[in-house]
Structures are given as C-alpha cells and as structure tokens.
Amino acid sequence: MLVAAASLPGLSACDRRITNSNIAVVNREFERGEKGSGGVTPKEVESVLGPPKSVTVKTLSLETQKKEVEIVRYYYEQDGQLLELHFLDNKLISRIPSLNPQQPAAGTKTPSQTP
C-alpha cells in the first residue's frame, strides 16, 4: 500500500509539486506489484502525485487474442516537462521516469560558464 505524501496546510492540489522522491515512492510500489503484491492503482498514484492535468481513455485491439482492452493515460505537466502514465486493468503498467533537472533560462550562465 502506498503512503501518501504529506501535504502542507493551505496548499491546494494545484500547488502540489511533483518531485523525484514522489516518483520513487510510486516506482517502489510498482516494483513490489511486479513481484505479486497487486500493482499500483490510479488512486494510489494520485495520493502521491496529486491529480493529473488530464486523463484519456482509449480502447486498443489485441490482434493476437481478438479482443479489446481499455488503456487509461494520466498526464502530469510541471515546469515544461510532461509525465505520461499508462494503466491497464486499473494498474500502472510501467515505471515513471524521473524529472530532468531544470535547465537554466536562455541567457543565464551556469557556474561552469562564469570566469
């Protein structure tokens, strides 16, 4: 079972920041699910990362089994970075990539560029 990230009083869900620490919590639970403990549900992901920016549902045809399955995609966007999570049978189906460190703004010098 996931442990929800503590929220600070007065912050709304739209103020919640996704961190690599939060992503690591979900990925640890995903790995435990692969070993037979059930998997990570969308609600469990939301308890750690907050609500997604958007959700899409798509039906995919499985040619080998002649049936269709429903895939749910959660999209999170923060600081110009997009995270896309895929769920099948109400379970996360892959690890979440870490966020990239922020790039300096155009024209900003990094410490290695200063004399």
CA angle 17, 39, 100 (to 5 degrees): 30
Token pair 């002649």: residue: 66
Q: How confident is the model at residue 29 (pLDDT cuts 50, 70, 90)?
A: very high
pTM score above 0.85: no
Neighbours of 31 (CB within 10 A): 12
Summarize pLDDT for 86-114 with one digit per residue, the tens: 999 999 999 999 998 765 444 434 444 44
Higher-scoring residue by pLDDT: 50, 13: 50
Assign residue 76 a region: left if phi > 0, alpha if psi is -120 to 50, beta otherwise? beta
- The rounded Cα 79 to chain-centroid distance in angstroms is 14
Under 8 Å between Cβ of 3 and 14:
no
Share of the chain above pLDDT 70, in %: 74
Summarize pLDDT for 57-71 with one digit per residue, the tens: 998 887 777 788 899
